Every structure is written in structure tokens, then in C-alpha cells.
Structure 1
Amino acid sequence: MEQPAGVTPAPATSSSPLAVDGEGARWAYRADIDGLRAVAILLVVSYHVWFGRVSGGVDVFLMLSAFFLTRGFLRRMAGPSPVRPVTHLLGIFRRLLPAAAVTLVGVLVTVWLVYPETAWRAVWEQTWASLFYVQNTLLAVDAVDYYARSQALSPLQHFWSMSVQGQAFVLWVVLLAACQWIVRRRGVSADRVVGVVFGTVFVLSFVYSVIRTATAQQAAYFDTGARLWEFAAGSLLVVALPHLRLGRVAGAVVGWTGLAALLVLGMVLDVRGGFPGFLALWPVLCAAAIVAAGAPDGRGAGPARMLASRPLRALGRNAYALYLVHWPVLITFLVVNDREEVGVVGGIGIVALSLLLARVLTRVVDAPLRGWRRSDRSPLVPLAIVAAAVSVVALPVGAWQATTWARERAVEARATVMNPGAGVLRDPALAEIPADAPVLPLPTLLEAEWQQSDRGCTGEWETQTAILNGTCGETEHITRARRTVAVIGDSHAQQISAALFPAAADNGWAVVSLIKGGCSMGLDEPGLDDQCDQWREESLELVERVRPDAVLTVLTRSDPGEDDEQLRPGIERFLDRMQDAGIPVLGVRDNPRFAYDMFECVIGAEDPRDCAAPRSASLADRNPAEVLADRPGLSLLDLTPWICPDDLCVGVIGNVAVYRDDNHLTRSYARTLAPNLSEQLPERLG
């Protein structure tokens, strides 16, 4: 990321005392650091475009942003014109927000024009998160959320690092303001105070980062707390710089070693899968080595002269804009061309277009604002610019969401007549659907197509077991229910609960859901993560203790292009435990799965029937669970005839999309299966 406004002193000429004095040199303009930023952004862009990996260049930006911010504060702490924290913070966002806002608006327009409607809601959500610098928090949640469709590549995903940076800037200004107050009140050394404060931040954050990365790396990658030590390293480098006296030979070795190590980092380490933790020391120390070996005007040892060259300095000045635009250009190319890789020629085109857009963004947005800052120093100007930048994004995305919401409500109001779903298979008269009736669910509502419980578990179902937190839910009025059915297992059990809920409401039953994505009740089946076995055991112990009137789970698993549909490994052990506890089991047959996204196919096809697949491509000729039919207390449920009528699995039935992706039923369609499910339920539940 480019250094923020208000923290970079004016360049010093080679004849200036700042350029030759050991202490003054750390305040002088460093052309080689502009070049270092150019190298970092080139690494980021090239690794994203051609290698689909992360290079460590972002870590360099995070450290350098704190370096410049701390340097600007430290220089004035004890002087006659101390920094005004609020004004300074507004100045930072005055510089950062306008270019980001223009990028966000450009992405919104592009998404509206060429992206599928299924991407809209995620882009809206990420636009708001990016605008208010919380995108990293959103992605951290999605990274560990089995159900998050937004894990798919987004044109705004790269805003996570700017969110981390924005949050750190706020904290840094607060901490630096506190340092400034101590320095001016107590008369102590500014270097000493800053060193102690940010040394403490470094140690605490680094320890947290190592622990967090070891236990939850995907979330840690986006965690600001796990990244603060990288910023603290930049602040400590400012303090240490006057004391780092490298000879010409030592400086050359340190500088070139740092640059070489930075260039090979992305090839040697899995940055995306192993950072931040202690591995992130690599790019941070590389950047520190390059800065320490350099000097004003590129006269330092090692690579300083090369980094201070005019082409690299020019690219360094466009680094922030290039970071903003390259990712949306890349993802849009992949989306429009339905590709996973760009190739050599496509990559060159993406880089060239990104460089052009970055130059335009810098020239049209960033440069004029710099000039305005120098000509008008009124404190109201940055406030007005920040407010304008927010409005430029908030108004169109808000209007887009409101318009879509109104359309969604209008369509839902007519859904009973125009979207009967599986009802057309029971009553052919319902097949008379107007030609202009939209298919449900609308693409913008796809995220809501998971059946959710009314609330978390209470009473006898409430548990203090940490691993069950957030996975246990229940319907309202459970204490007055005639019967209780527990749905237990993975997302395929959860989707069938959408058909069970209407039946339960009609009969006065309660439904309790114990659901964890990727963790079926096949007790020998590998889980999505290493917590599945523990979660299964805790869930089963809870069910055995409460003893509901029945449990519902999925007994089989189908996979496209794999072996025939089979019983889930270890499902017999689950049935044994339920039998020993005297709990009846409603055993559901799995639905077909596909090698492609059925919903995406349906909304993109002229005729949804073009997306159909034969039932035999995923399911066995006979339900594999039939071998268990004689087990006491087991009732087999099979909805295949209403999912794949006439042995053909179609994407739309009764004007309702059957699938939300490549293997999960939509809630909208599953709810229309309620009568078919009710017919198969055992009489003892009546």
C-alpha cells in the first residue's frame, strides 16, 4: 500500500544537511523506498495473475505504512509544532478513501454489467465492509464458514489488507498521540517512548499471531491483532535507523540478501496457507534489511541505487492505485471468460490494463487531492473529502440494494401461485404457470436458501459444551410440542429439515437441529475438519441424554463420476447407538450431486432442461440403505422421485430451482417436498 497522506516529509536534496547527517537522514526523502514499494506491488500483481499465490508483498506494505506514519509523528513530537492527532487521522483517510471509493464504484458498475446475479449480494456486503475498513473481519468469518458462498473469488477480496491497514492507522494515531503527550509532558526521549510502546505491541501481537496461526490459520490471516506486530516492526525500524551503521560491504550484503530473499519468498513458502505467524518475519525482515542498507537519494549500499531509479520510483508512486485496480481486473477477466487461469497472453493484458488504470487513478484522483492539501489546510477540507468519498459509494450501492429488495418482495408476494415447486408433480393443474413468472429463488436471495432454526437450543437441549456452540438450534414453542424430532448431521441433513419444518408445524412437533457442515453421522467418514469426531460424539451424547421421539439423518452419500452411491461409512454404528438408546431413526437417502453448479447452469441457460442429468449419473439403481430396512426403529425416507422425476434430475421443477449449487437443494424447493416427506413418516410420530 502507498504511504498515507501527511506522513511523508518533503524530499531533501543531496546537498541538504538532512541527506548527510546520521540523525537527519532518517527524515529525508528515500527514493529507494519508493522503489521497494514498486518491487512489492510487482510481486503482488505477478503472483496473483500468473501463479495464483501470495507473494508476501502485502506484508512489506504493512510494515512500510507504519514506518512512514511513525516517522511523521516522531519527527514532530518534541518540536514546536506537534501533530494534531484527529486532523492527522482525517488527513490519512482523505488520501486513501477517494481512490478506494472510485475503485469501489467501478467494481459496482462492472458487477452490474457482467457478473451473474448470484454474485451481487456478496459484492454489496463486501462493498460496505471495504468502505468502512472491516473487510478483513468479513473474510475471517467466511474463511471458517462452511456455508459461505462468498468464499468464491470476489473482485473486492483484496480490500482485506486495506481494512487491516485502516484499523491499524486508527490505533497507531492513538498510541502515537499518547507517546507525544508523554514526551511533551515528561520531557523524555521520543525514541525511547516510541520504542517501548511499539516494542510491547510487537511482542504481544507476535505471540498472539503465532498461537492464532497454529490454531486457526485461515481466520488468523485476516486478523488485525495477528498483523499488528508487522506494523510495530515498521515503527521500531524508524527508532533503530540512526543506530544501524552498516559499512559499504556489510550494507551491500544485507541489502542484496534482503531483496533476493524477498523475490523468492512466494516460491519457497505457502504464504496464503502459513501466514501471518512467525513465517511472516521473512518479508518483514527483508524489507527492514533493504531500508537499513539504503540512504537518501539512493546513495546507500546494495540495491539502493537500482531501487531509486526513475522507472521504479514512478511505479512506486502508483503502487496504491495499482493494488486497488489489479485484483478487480483479474477476477473480472476470469468471470467473464469462465476460466480459472489467465495464461501468459491474458496475464500480460491484465497487467497492462491495470497499469493504465492505476496511472489514471493516480493522476485524476490522487494527484489533485495532494495539491489541494498543500493549497488549503483548513481542517474542514479532509472531513468534507472523506464524507464525499463515503457518499459516492454509499448512495449507488444503497439504491441498488433497495431497488432489488422491492423486486424481491413483489416476486415473493406471487410465489404461491407462480412457484408451486414439487406441487406440480402431485397436481398437474398447478403446471399452468405464466411465461413471465420468475424462477425462485431469485439469484440475489440465494444466500438465504439454508433452512435455519428459530433460535439456539434451550432447556434440556442447552449445553455448555464449547464445540456444540452455534450448531444446536430449535423451533419455537418446544416446551409445548407433542413430539420432538432431532435433525443431526451435515448440510445434507440440514437441507431436508426444510421439508420437515412444515410437517412439524402442521402436527405440533418441535424440531431440534444439530448441524455441522461436512460432519455426517457416518462415524467412520472423514470429516471436513479435525473437530468432526469430537462434535459427533458430543452431539450423540446430547441426543442419548435427552432422547427425542425420533432423529433424522442422511444414510447414504452420492458423488458424481465416482463409485455408485453407498452407505456412509460407519452409519451402522450410529444406528446401533440410537437403537441402544431406544430412539427411532428417520433415515433419508441422499440427493443427487453434480460435477457442475446446477443453479448457475439454470440461470445461464436458455432452457433449464439443458442442465438436466440422468439420475444414474449420481445415484445407485436401488437405495443402498434398503439393506438396513429390517433394523428395529429405522424408517427409510426416499424423496428421489420428486427430485428426479422420470429418472431425470432437472434444475427447475414447478418454477422453483431444485439446487442452490452442485449438491444442495434450495430451501424453496425442499419446503415444497413437505407433503411427500409427511407421507413417508411412520405412524408412531402421529
Structure 2
Amino acid sequence: MHLTLGSPTRSVPEHRGTEGRWAYRRDVDGLRAVAILLVVSYHVWFGRVSGGVDVFLMLSAFFLTRGFVRRMAGPAPVRPVRHLLGVFRRLLPAAAVTLVGILAVVWSVYPETMYRSIAEQAWASLGYVQNWLLAADAVDYYARTDVPSPLQHFWSMSVQGQAFVLWVILLWVCQIAVRRRGWSPDRVVGVVFGAVFAISFVYSVVRTASAQQLAYFDTGARLWEFAAGSLLVVALPRVRLGAVARVVVGWAGLVGLLVLGAVLDVQGGFPGFLALWPVLCAAAIVVAGSGETGRFSLARVLSARPLQAVGRDAYALYLVHWPILVTFLVVNGRTEVGLVGGAGIIVLSLLLARLLTWAVDRPVRAWRRTDTSSLVPVTVLAVAAAVVAVPVGAWQASTWLQERAIEERALQANPGAAVLRDPSLSKPPADAPLLPLPTLIDDEWVHLDRECSGEWANDVEMLRGTCSETTGTPRARHTIAVIGDSHAQQITSALLPVAEANGWGVVFLIKGGCSMGLDEPGMDERCDGWREAAIELVERVRPDAALTVVTRSDAGEDDERLRPGIERFLDRMDGAGVPVLGVRDNPRFAFNMYDCVVGSDDPLDCAVPRSASLADRNPADDLDRPGLHLVDLTPWICPDDLCVGEIGNVAVYRDDNHLSRLYARTLSPSLAEQLPATIG
């Protein structure tokens, strides 16, 4: 978080009155402590967010703005570039040390499937853009989310870093206006950040209502919280509360903060207008503590030594608590920590936070006081960046070279389903690694070459980003449209070699979680609209065939069955004169098959009887339609009625239910045998 999470500068004497807004506030240190304790406890024990981060966002802008406003019209105005360098010089070293520590732990105890994404997130965290990476994953059906990232909490620091840059620019513009025009600093700042507040708040409410998961990480939807802190600086000397009112307002603000996480679904409803709750509560506490402190004043409680100690290490505590929590869950294979485990995590977090503050944060601040050269922040930032960039870059480079070398041997060492057709291929070299490599598992989604063009091009909003084609499709005499969900997407890997050999074009109309079972609930509320738009496009273009998955397997007690409403889809295709290649679904499991195979000495330990997921006979056999051609690849996915996770040194699955791209490609000869004699 911002420098407000660390120890404040204590050279300013405490005093009250109009200029009291410049004074050192022990109660605000205590407020930081309350906020970080809420964040940590809710993360550890409740698996929820508390609103404490929103308090930090507001307070960081409060202190940044306060420093500017105090000097705007004085003899020593703020120099924006140097000030910004100083802010990041204060923040980055502790963050860099934390990042390196996390990477070391990840490479020691985390599954290899997470290496690549965590390396990418390390770069994003170092560059203060982690929030945008997480925003993309939050709306990405294909992102692996079964294990949380130990770097996920860097999203808020990325939002702050971006806001700090914008704030320094805006405050610098305000400073120029004040010094050249002689305008009041409070008035200029109030107008500028009042406008920022209004615009960002409206955007936040609209964005949260339409795409909450993305809005949660969206900097634009959070700027009003920073603006609230800037406006508080302007409003503070103008707010006059009596002694009783200060007591009531302060304690009401604290109670509001404490109950927020229990009353509201902060993660599911924020930011939007609901985030006004923690922002207003924090503002109430700051306002209540700006006057004389009486016997029952909240400011006295917040100034207590234990809270001051926690507030001193708040930034470091935020940095270390989340990776400790996630590592505990990963190492122990758990989803909850329990009372004792949670207490241990919090104690360890407090100890490491104290160590990080003492060993990194305090020396950096001390260097600033003893050497005011402009080279100091530049040097600190360069060293901190290199501490992270060098090991991450070296690891990525060595991994890339290893992956290329393995790919060159893959044809001989990783035959996949070919071993079921040619037993002589059943013994790959002893040193041949299983493919796909854990670091490349996220590449195992099947994608086509480019966006739809020609007669497949369309401007239907529902289809945006879901229609793609192979390069040769516009010139192909015959075209197959693959339509449906991610299971249809993955089986396309078996179709592509056949299409290439025959000169066919292949078109994707794919949306994760939206099958062609027209009565089947989708994983996306927009599935029904997307299905109709996709089917209408197929009806208009009339490809030579449409391929989709017509059954649905299950990892639980339910038997494999026809997709609900698949008959209505077949009726639509029959009416358009489009033959359908109806593929039987592949098995699904109650566990991640890829992780099981990678972590097991014997792949058979992960095997599951075919009957646990598939019916004894293909339910699609009951579909008696002249334009339907059934495709059943089960014998090459579950040989001898046993669904294994590895065949021919290739992982059959990429997760708990999707075929890997590499294995599906080795099914191409078996698929070709089941296609009709002619396409078109």
C-alpha cells in the first residue's frame, strides 16, 4: 500500500485547530492498523474481503494531497517528478523483496502448472499493472482458478501506483494554477478532485452493475475513493463538531468498519456505490479525531501502543499475509485454515512484517534523510527492479529453451493415442518428459488463426470475440463450423489435421460454458442470446457440416445423457440443410486429472472406470436423424474401459474435464475414420 501504511514522519508537532490537518495523527496510524487487521482476519478466517483496502485507498490520497496542498502556495512548492520518484522509492523495495521471497517459495513447493502464470504476475506486480491482468482473468472462462495466486493481493498496490501517477500530475496542475493565478489551494483542489469523484463514481456504479468482476480491479472504478481522500483534506478545516458529536461520529465510523465485511458481500458488490460505506466510515473517524480528544474519544483508543505498532508495519503486513495464507493452503491441500492454523498464519505474518519493515523499509527511509541527492530514488528503484527482473527473466529464458528442445523430440517421445493403433510405439525414451509440460498447460486451449472474415464476418455484438477461422477458410471449397462450448473447442484439435489434409476450412463459434443443448443452463447468463446469434449465422452461411458435442458426461452420480434441448438444435440444422457431426462427450472427473498424473509416480493411480462418468452405451444412439453423423472417440480416451490420465506419454486432460490440445490432436486418425465419406 502507500507510504501511509508505514511509519509516518514525526517531525511535525501535534496541534489542533485550522492548521491541525497538517499535524501528525496517531489516531490515523491506529485506523491503518484496524484496516489491515480487518483485511488479514477476513482473508484468513472468512475467505472474504472486508473493505479495509478501500480505507487504504482513501487514506493514501489523503496524505498525498495533504503534502501538496500544504506547500502549493509556499516558498518551497512540490517538485512533481522528484516527489513521484520518492513515493515509489518508498514502496518498491519492500514489494521487490516480497516478490523474490514469494518466487522462491513457489519454485520450492507450488505445482509446476502455476510457474508460468506466477512469473507473468511477477512482471505485472513489478510494473504496477497486476490489477489489469487479474481483471482479464476474472472474465476469462479459460483461466485456471482452482489454486489462488500468492501474488493476487498486488492488485490494490497496482491500482494505487497508477493513481499516484495521475494524482501527482493533477496536483502539479493545481499547483501551477495556484501559483500563477493566486487562487486558493483548497478551492482549486476541491474543484479538480470533485470532478474526478463525480465522473469516477458514476463510472464505478455503471461498471459494477454491468461487469462487477472486472470493475473490482478497474482503476477507473476506484479513482473516486482516492478523490474522497483529497476532498477530505479540503473539507477537514471546515468541519466543526462538538465534543459529543466527535465521540458519536468516531465510534459510529469504527462500528461501521467492523461490521461491513459481515453485512455486505464486499467482493461481490464492490466497488460501486456500496464502497461508500468504508470510505465514509474512515472519513468519519478522521474528522472525529481532528479536534480535542476527550475521555471517550475514539482517537485515544486508536492511539494506543499496540495499534501504533501494527500501523507501523501495516504495509509490510499487507505484503506478506496473503502469500503465507495461500502457501499454507497449497502445501496442505486445503481450502480453509481453521482457527489454530489461522492464528499461526497471523502470528507468522506479524513477525515477517516486523522483519521486513526493520530490514528494508526503515533503512530506505533513513537513506532518504541522510542523502537528499536525486540519484538516491533512481538508484533504489533500479536496484529493486533488478532484484525481481533478473531471476524472473533468467528463469523464463531457461524454461523457453527447455520447452523448445522437448518439442523437437515430441514426435518420437510422445506419440499419444498413436500407441493404441501401433503398439511398437508404446515405450518412449526413459528420459522423455510427459507433455504438455506443466509450464505450458495454459497453452492447451485450442484456438484458430484469425477472426472470422468473408461470409462469416458479422457485427453482432453477442458474437464479438467468439468467431474465428483457419487461415485458408475463405479459399476452401468445403467448410466445417464447430459450434458450442469448450468441449467442442478441444475436440477440434483432432479435426484440424484432417481439415488441413483435405483442404477444408474450419470456423469456430465457441463460447465457454454454452453448449448447443438449447435447454441446458449456461455458465454465462448471455448463453441463450449467444446461442441464437451463433445458430442464425450458421443458418445463413450454411457450411458443409457443423460439429458439436451432443451428450453430457458427469463426474458425479448422474448418468451421461443427451444435452437438454439438443434435438431442437438438430431440427434447426436440418431445416437449414446443414449436416451435423455429433460428438460424444469425453469423461469428466471430480479432481484435476492433469495435476494427479504430474504428481503421481504411476499414472494408473489416477485412473477411473469409464462407467464412473459415461453410460454403458452412447445416449446419442437414440437420435435417429438422416443428417446426423455420430462420432465416438471413447475407445481412444478410455481404452479397456479405463479412463487414464496419460497415454503415449501425453496427458489426456489439461484439467478435470477438458482434453489436452496435444492429446486431442493424436486422435485425428480415429476421428477421420468416423467422418462421413464426403463433406459437402
Length-normalised TM-score, structure 2:
0.98
**Cα pair 1:205 1:225 within 8 Å, conserved:** yes
User: 1:315 aligned to 310, 313, 330, which one?
Assistant: 310
Deviation at 1:300, TM superposition (A): 9.1
Letter of the 2:244 partner, please give it: V
User: 1:147 aligned to 142, 147, 155, which one?
Assistant: 142
Deviation at 1:561, TM superposition (A): 1.5
User: 2:626 aligned to 629, 632, 646, which one?
Assistant: 632
User: What is aligned with 1:582?
Assistant: 577
Deviation at 1:278, TM superposition (A): 0.4
User: What is aligned with 2:507?
Assistant: 512
**Cα pair 1:143 1:151 within 8 Å, conserved:** no
User: What is aligned with 2:159?
Assistant: 164
Please say if 1:331 is aligned against 2:326: yes
Take 1:44 and 1:412, find their aligned partners in 2: how far apart are those partners? 45
User: What is aligned with 1:649?
Assistant: 643
Deviation at 1:479, TM superposition (A): 2.4
Deviation at 1:436, TM superposition (A): 1.8
**Cα pair 1:2 1:317 within 8 Å, conserved:** no
Please say if 1:261 is aligned against 2:256: yes
Take 2:139 and 2:607, find their aligned partners in 1: how far apart are those partners? 32
**Partner-residue secondary structure (3-state), 1:128:** helix
Take 2:518 and 2:145, find their aligned partners in 1: how far apart are those partners? 30
Deviation at 1:301, TM superposition (A): 6.4
Q: 1:561 to 1:5 in 2, by over 3 A?
A: closer
Deviation at 1:299, TM superposition (A): 6.3
Please say if 1:217 is aligned against 2:212: yes
Deviation at 1:462, TM superposition (A): 0.7
Letter of the 1:391 partner, please give it: A
User: 2:25 aligned to 15, 30, 47, which one?
Assistant: 30
Structural mapping, 1:489-528, within 5 Å: 489-528=484-523
User: What is aligned with 2:597?
Assistant: 602
Please say if 1:407 is aligned against 2:409: no
Q: 1:138 to 1:184 in 2, by over 3 A?
A: same
Q: 1:561 to 1:111 in 2, by over 3 A?
A: same
User: What is aligned with 1:3?
Assistant: 3
Take 2:44 and 2:649, find their aligned partners in 1: how far apart are those partners? 40
Length-normalised TM-score, structure 1:
0.98
Take 2:311 and 2:492, find their aligned partners in 1: how far apart are those partners? 55
Q: 1:265 to 1:216 in 2, by over 3 A?
A: same
Deviation at 1:477, TM superposition (A): 1.7
**Partner-residue secondary structure (3-state), 1:488:** strand
Deviation at 1:380, TM superposition (A): 1.1
Q: 1:182 to 1:265 in 2, by over 3 A?
A: same
Q: 1:311 to 1:256 in 2, by over 3 A?
A: same
**Partner-residue secondary structure (3-state), 1:684:** coil
Deviation at 1:297, TM superposition (A): 9.2
**Partner-residue secondary structure (3-state), 2:209:** helix
Q: 1:159 to 1:5 in 2, by over 3 A?
A: closer
Shifted more, 671-680 versus 469-478: the winner is 469-478
Letter of the 2:670 partner, please give it: N
**Partner-residue secondary structure (3-state), 2:482:** strand
TM-superposition CA deviations, 1:276-319 (whole Å, max 9, x none): 00000000000000000003896696310010111111110100
Letter of the 1:66 partner, please give it: A
User: 1:120 aligned to 104, 112, 115, which one?
Assistant: 115
**Cα pair 1:586 1:635 within 8 Å, conserved:** yes
Deviation at 1:8, TM superposition (A): 5.7
Take 1:639 and 1:392, find their aligned partners in 2: how far apart are those partners? 50
Take 1:301 and 1:141, find their aligned partners in 2: how far apart are those partners? 47
Take 1:327 and 1:78, find their aligned partners in 2: how far apart are those partners? 42
**Partner-residue secondary structure (3-state), 1:514:** strand
Deviation at 1:604, TM superposition (A): 0.7
**Cα pair 2:119 2:392 within 8 Å, conserved:** yes
Take 2:298 and 2:289, find their aligned partners in 1: how far apart are those partners? 8
**Cα pair 1:450 1:667 within 8 Å, conserved:** yes
User: 1:543 aligned to 538, 544, 551, which one?
Assistant: 538
Structural mapping, 1:323-472, within 5 Å: 323-472=318-467
Please say if 1:42 is aligned against 2:37: yes
TM-superposition CA deviations, 1:45-93 (whole Å, max 9, x none): 0000001010000000000000000000000000000000000000000
User: What is aligned with 2:297?
Assistant: 302
**Partner-residue secondary structure (3-state), 2:3:** coil
**Cα pair 2:254 2:281 within 8 Å, conserved:** yes
**Partner-residue secondary structure (3-state), 1:587:** strand
Take 2:18 and 2:547, find their aligned partners in 1: how far apart are those partners? 73
Identity %: 73
**Partner-residue secondary structure (3-state), 1:593:** coil
Letter of the 2:636 partner, please give it: W
Letter of the 1:259 partner, please give it: L
Take 1:115 and 1:482, find their aligned partners in 2: how far apart are those partners? 49
**Cα pair 1:44 1:54 within 8 Å, conserved:** yes
Deviation at 1:572, TM superposition (A): 0.3
Deviation at 1:387, TM superposition (A): 1.0
Please say if 1:475 is aligned against 2:470: yes
**Partner-residue secondary structure (3-state), 2:340:** helix
Take 2:98 and 2:25, find their aligned partners in 1: how far apart are those partners? 28
**Cα pair 1:591 1:640 within 8 Å, conserved:** yes
Q: 1:301 to 1:173 in 2, by over 3 A?
A: farther
Q: 1:300 to 1:583 in 2, by over 3 A?
A: farther
Q: 1:434 to 1:276 in 2, by over 3 A?
A: same
User: What is aligned with 2:667?
Assistant: 673
User: What is aligned with 2:616?
Assistant: 621
Deviation at 1:467, TM superposition (A): 1.6
**Partner-residue secondary structure (3-state), 1:683:** coil
Please say if 1:283 is aligned against 2:278: yes
**Partner-residue secondary structure (3-state), 1:345:** helix
User: 1:76 aligned to 71, 76, 83, which one?
Assistant: 71
**Partner-residue secondary structure (3-state), 1:544:** helix
Which blocks of at least 5 consecutive residues in structure 1 are unaligned? none
TM-superposition CA deviations, 1:17-36 (whole Å, max 9, x none): xx03x221000000000000
Q: 1:436 to 1:138 in 2, by over 3 A?
A: same
User: What is aligned with 1:12?
Assistant: 12
In the alignment of these two chains, the number of paired residues is 680
Deviation at 1:3, TM superposition (A): 2.7
**Cα pair 2:482 2:548 within 8 Å, conserved:** yes
Take 2:203 and 2:446, find their aligned partners in 1: how far apart are those partners? 36
User: 2:125 aligned to 126, 130, 154, which one?
Assistant: 130
**Cα pair 2:6 2:311 within 8 Å, conserved:** no
Structural mapping, 1:232-247, within 5 Å: 232-247=227-242
TM-superposition CA deviations, 1:580-624 (whole Å, max 9, x none): 000000000000000000001001111011000000000000000
Deviation at 1:122, TM superposition (A): 0.9
User: What is aligned with 1:555?
Assistant: 550
**Partner-residue secondary structure (3-state), 2:678:** helix
Take 2:405 and 2:102, find their aligned partners in 1: how far apart are those partners? 28
TM-superposition CA deviations, 1:384-414 (whole Å, max 9, x none): 1111111110000010111111111111110
Letter of the 1:634 partner, please give it: L
